Amino acid sequence: MAMHSGKPAVKFSCVHGCSDCCIYREYYPSVEFGKIGVLILPEEKGRIEKLATEKGINLKIIPRLAVGAQSPEQVIAYQMMGKNQDGDLCPFLAIDELAPHGGLKCRIYADRPLACRAYPVIDDDDKQATLDPHCQFCSKFSTNTADVEGLQQELESLSRIKATVKAERGLHVWRYATATGKDRKAMLPEGWVLES
């Protein structure tokens, strides 16, 4: 077993019976912006919509980030919203079938979005790769990537997302408020908000 950060690295595997990352969605970057959906790259959008049509699944994909000099001219990331009114529950999660680890099964596992392939590797506030503390495995073992083995594909997926979702210098970044979640009164109306 390899040693990192002074303690033995543990091999990543999903906690038996867990489906949390396919069910629960976060308010991001704050409650005002509403709950986010699964990040979908512009190049993935058509493919994911086609899969949903083939399987007879209703999808709601809305913009997430855009860039532009004066207005949100070019969408650089979309998001696939949860099917529940509060924004939770991925529409592709089969609620009556189990995956090998005992959690619920993804109906498009082999073709799932890059963001699902990257999870539980995410960016921290300094844009460094870290592990999501909301993940059951990570909250139990570590949120430091150096402490966990077997995440190469996830790290590579995050790098590919970062290479695609980046704003060119001189352009403003706009974030789409989803107005999705429980406390609607605390949220901005659905639409673009200038971020930087």
Which residues of this protein are in contact with ligand SF4, per CB under 6 A? 14-15, 18-22, 38, 90, 92-93, 103, 106, 108, 112-113, 116, 119-120, 135-137
Spatial contact of 160 and 124, defined as CB atoms under 8 Å apart? no
Looking only at Cα atoms, what is the longest distance across the chain?
53
User: 191-194 and 38-40: which strand pairing?
Assistant: unpaired
Tell me the closest approach of the beta carbon of residue 56 to ligand SF4, in angstroms: 16
User: How many angstroms separate the CA atoms of 87 and 99, rounded?
Assistant: 23
In the complex with ligand SF4, which residue's Cβ is closer, 67 or 114? 114
Considering the complex, state which of residue 103 and residue 181 has its C-beta at the smaller distance from ligand SF4: 103
The bridge status of strand 10-11 relative to strand 148-149 is parallel
- The least CB distance from residue 80 to ligand SF4, in Å, is 7
Check if the beta carbon of residue 75 is closer than 8 Å to that of residue 42: yes
Least distance to ligand SF4, CB of residue 77, Å? 15
Q: Are 93 and 23 in contact (CB under 8 A)?
A: yes
Amino acid symbol at 126: D
CB closer to ligand SF4, 38 vs 77: 38
Cβ nearer to ligand SF4, comparing 38 with 67: 38
CB of 10 to ligand SF4, least distance (A): 13
